[in-house]
Chain A
Amino acid sequence: MSNSTYRPCLSPHHSLARRQFVGDLCAGGAAVASGISLFSHPAGAAQLAAHGRSVVVIFLGGGISQFESWDPKTHLETGGPFKSIPTSVPGIHISELLPHTATRMHQMALVRSISTDLDDHGLATNIIRCGRTTRTATEYPELGAAVARGLERTDFPLPGHIRTMPEGIGRRNNNSAYLGPQYASVSVGAEKGGIVNTQLPDGMTVETDSRRQDWRRFVNKRHRQKVQTAEMDAWTQSYEQALRLMERRELFDISREPSEIQTAYGSSPFAKQLLLARRLVEQEVPYIEVSHDGWDFHHNNFEFHLHYVADIDRPFAHFLTDLTERGLLQRTLVIVMTEFGRTPGINAGYGRDHYPKAWSMAMAGCGIQHGAVIGKTDEKGAEVIDRKVDHRHLFHTFLQAVGIDSTGQFEIAGRHFPIADPAFGPIQELLA
């Protein structure tokens, strides 16, 4: 049994006061003013057509077992004690732990042939998020930043890269690399009304606040006539974005949903995050990430999967149903992501250890072939025997599924950066 100690890959517990939130936005604004241009690749029309699309990543941090989810091997002793069940697509079976998800398989696709080479949580998370083989967390922008940049619209009032968490107010994270902090994720809680600490202080009326904001703009404008710097412009822009966000704080308040909708999603923190994600998809936020952590079951793998998979199954299936009924799934790519799989063997603690060599991921929604299963693992689930892909192929695929030309480049202050690893391409047969 591995002696590794679980280290959460994502910490949902960061929270910042409004002042720091604004400050972080200001830092982000600096990059805007520093000269990021449109895509340098002549794919502008396609990018424009993609506007309105969203990507929702459900990140199962720690490493969900492919055997107890997307690639069951029930004929093996080491396949575990869970059966496989048929899905809405004839011939595709998944774990019995996902009965609700099984009914939505006709809107989904599975990739069962992912093979990467890093079994450290942090490093593996980094490569799967960035689509590059790198050991440096800030070297390349994460998928969320690339999508936020790729699907960016002028005057869009909300952040383009949002991570949900159970509760609290968000912060800008450091995950956009050279794209600049304005494309870094903003974390927002799904509980307690979403964005907290954004109400006016007691005793301050809207009129008073409006006057002080007008005064700030006046002073800024007067100062700008004398001194103009990119940093100052960034600060100015960040204040305005923060104000726009505050004006739309109700979008983050899932308690505004009808009670029957809230009931249908469920009361778990994960379900509430999915409901928040749906509200943000309605607003055409380019990238939303919902996290569900703790899947690192070196011990007691089967008992834990019994409960953990049940916790995601019904809300996830309902999320797809809700998006479908609202006409949103046709413009939304949903990815169930994790950083690596689990070992085919069972250790003495009835756990499974890290296994990047052969694992799976699921997708749903726009831009992909519904009902597709890409690749295959061997009988024991130990090796990929058909259509081996890795994080670089997936990154291209995710972007192209929402209409972003992943073979293009970002032009930033005169320098060109390939959007995705130019030595790789998408999983073409998976794209619709």
Chain B
Amino acid sequence: MTITLEPAPEFDPLAARQTQDWQHDAHLLCCGVDPSGRFVVAGGIDHCIQRWEIASGTKTTLTGHTNWVRTIGFSPDGATLWSGAYDGQWITWDLTARTPQPVRQRQAHQGWLRGLAVSTDGQQIATCGNDGLVRIWNAADGQLIHELSGHTSIPYCVHFVPESSELVSGDICGAIHHWRTTDGQLLRKLDASEIHNLIGDLAPFGGIISLAFSPDRKRLTATGLHKTSNAPAGNRRAVALSFDWASGEKLPKQESIKKELDSTMWRAQYHNEGTLLGIVEKEVGFWKPGEVDAFHLIATPSDIFDLDLHPNQLDLYTAHFDGHVRCHHLAAD
């Protein structure tokens, strides 16, 4: 008797097809798949978080914030969810509970909390907000560990450097700060101000909206917008600007050139094999390392504001303006 093993499906964006479509009734701003792969979670302008069990599609609503839910993060085991909102608070949730309730919450910032990240080991969370500060918290008890000041404009996002005691934060004027989390020391600054504009000489537009590290940690990628021609009308182009992490040298920008779309790259994420996935309005673009133009775009019906890959690296979840969370399977199987 001969046993034939099915080959593992290969990541192939060109074969992408939508496999799931869950609907909520409010515009969604953020989403993520927990590291265990059980749930997809999305936050919206209704101040709520929606949790869908991927296997069953069962939806559960988490309430506790009092303003737009802008950002989420998970513990490495997927059991704990942190959410951050424009009410300036972060909330800890037991994600596995039947109906999760706030376990702990902190008024983290004056004004909007814009960015939140969980360290690779799950020991710390970092947040940033309209008060201009980056704060590092003990994930276990919620105590403030460090308050990092130095951004001269509003920090938009934070991201832990994988497998290290370091953190990066990016602000709305394009400054990236590289911090050591053990003592809060600023290690260096990177300049991505070219993906920011000042509108009317007073309002920053763009900046560092998200940050991502390549799987080999050789590249730090900042995403946002550039080529602004009429900001109040939304004329701009999505862009990813990467830095060689060791040298700080800028690498060629990546954008959608063949298909020009008014768009902001609200999020980009690397696939484990090195492809960059980024939001381009209603589409998701795919870039090979070092290539300027996207080699493929997959279209969706509504503007995308966040994306996350399932731990299987084959299912891509996107959060949309129309309140939907959609899943595209990125393989031919």
Contact = CB atoms under 8 A, between A and B. Distances in A.
Given A1-B234, A299-B231, A294 B45 contact: no
Interface in A292-327: 293-300, 303-304, 306-308, 311
Given A268-B202, A294-B200, A351-B234, A81 B302 contact: no
A6 B200 CA distance: 13
A1 B202 CA distance: 24
B203 A304 contact: yes
Given A77-B46, A81-B86, A348-B321, A303 B205 contact: yes
A4 interface: yes
Contacts of A62: 232
A293 B202 CA distance: 11
A35 interface: no
Contacts of A295: 232
Contacts of B26: 77
Nearest to B229: A5
B68 interface: yes
Interface string A263-280: 000001100000000000
B204 interface: yes
For this complex, into which size category does the number of interface residues on chain B fall?
20 to 34
A349 B262 CA distance: 10
Contact of A348 (B201, B203, B204, B302): B302
Given A77-B46, A346-B27, A348-B321, A5 B205 contact: no
Contact of A304 (B47, B68, B130, B232): B232
Contacts of B230: 5-6
Contacts of B5: none
A1 B233 CA distance: 9
Interface class of chain A by DSSP: loop
B111 to A, nearest CB: 9
A5 B321 CA distance: 22
A293 B200 contact: yes
Contacts of B112: 81
Nearest to B67: A81
B315 interface: no
A307 B47 CA distance: 23
B75 to A, nearest CB: 27
Given A77-B46, A81-B67, A81-B68, A304 B199 contact: yes
Interface string B202-223: 1111000000000000000000
B200 A308 contact: yes
Contacts of B262: 349
B170 to A, nearest CB: 15
Given A81-B86, A268-B202, A346-B27, A300 B231 contact: yes
Interface class of chain B by DSSP: loop
Contact of A81 (B45, B204, B303): B45
For this complex, into which size category does the number of interface residues on chain A fall?
20 to 34
Nearest to B236: A299
Contacts of B45: 77-78, 81, 346
A341 to B, nearest CB: 15
Contact of A298 (B46, B47, B68, B233): B233
A298 B232 contact: yes
B200 A299 contact: no
Contacts of A294: 199-200, 232
A295 B26 CA distance: 26
Contacts of A81: 45, 67-68, 86, 112
Interface string B319-331: 0010000000000
Nearest to A269: B201
Interface string A336-376: 00000000001011010000000000000000000000000
Contacts of B202: 268, 307-308, 311
Contacts of B86: 81
- The winner among A6, A296, A303 for most chain B CB atoms within 10 A is A303
Interface in A1-53: 1, 4-6
Given A81-B67, A81-B86, A348 B233 contact: no
Interface in B42-82: 45-47, 67-68
Contacts of B231: 299-300, 304
Contacts of A299: 231-234
B303 A348 contact: yes
B252 to A, nearest CB: 26
Contacts of B204: 303, 307
B232 A297 contact: yes
A307 B230 CA distance: 17
Interface string A216-254: 000000000000000000000000000000000000000
Interface in B122-173: 130, 172
Given A81-B45, A348-B302, 20 more contacts: A6-B232, A77-B47, A78-B45, A268-B202, A294-B232, A298-B232, A298-B234, A299-B233, A299-B234, A300-B231, A300-B232, A304-B203, A306-B130, A307-B203, A307-B204, A308-B200, A311-B202, A348-B303, A349-B234, A349-B303
16 contacts: A4-B233, A5-B230, A5-B233, A77-B45, A77-B46, A78-B45, A81-B86, A268-B202, A296-B233, A298-B233, A299-B232, A303-B204, A304-B199, A348-B303, A348-B321, A349-B262
